[in-house]
Amino acid sequence: MSKNNGKEDTRSRIIRAATNLFAEQGYQQTTIAEIAKMAGLAEGSIYEHFRGKEDLLLTIPDEWVTNAVEELEIQLLGIEGAINKLRKFLWWYLHYIQCEPQTAKVVFLFLKTNPNFLQTDVYPNVKTFYAYLLRIFEEGRDSGELPKDLDPFVARSIFLGTIEHMVIRWLIKGMSYSLFDNLDQTFKILVNGMRQHPSQT
């Protein structure tokens, strides 16, 4: 094994340990000493890879978001029509979140409220991920599936806001039910609301 691979393995162990501890007992309550212990390392080893606990928190979604960007592009291949793409985005994204609940808990409950997240290296990938959704709304507006005067940015905010509300509620309630409960009804309400022309309200 090369030195680089060894360093990467150690870094990954630290990130996994931090993710589990942050998710289980909270960001504020977790110490560097606890992270080091779970990772099987000396406390000083953490500082060879990260500046501190906040640096660790801000690094956690890096691989998760990078993989999401790559997978979303594949998921949308061959799907025609903006409404079909929106449906696929919603179902796939919630499945992606439900498969990684520990990471999702850290990202949605602790990371998104940290203003320093906007300055991290991973944030451009977040913007790339959400840009796919923006393009879907633009496609729907241009094709006539959605109103011509639909603002794609507003539509994206509503769509993502709904997802975040669903995920945060699911996490706070201990993931005691499926994110897919009543999802079809939720999607219909979202899309029908966007199809409704402003002049008709």
Q: Find the mean pLDDT for residues 151-160.
A: 96
pLDDT digits (tens, 9 = 90+) for 54-76: 999 988 888 888 889 999 999 99
Q: What is the pLDDT of residue 142?
A: 95
Whole-angstrom Cα Rg for the chain: 19
Least confident stretch, 118-122, 166-170, 188-192, 197-201: 197-201
pLDDT at 144 over 90: yes
Whether pTM exceeds 0.85 = no
Nearest-angstrom CA–CA distance, 21 and 14: 11
Q: What is the pLDDT of residue 8?
A: 57
pLDDT digits (tens, 9 = 90+) for 15-38: 999 999 999 999 999 999 999 999
Domains and their CATH numbers in the chain: 3-58 (1.10.10.60), 60-200 (1.10.357.10)
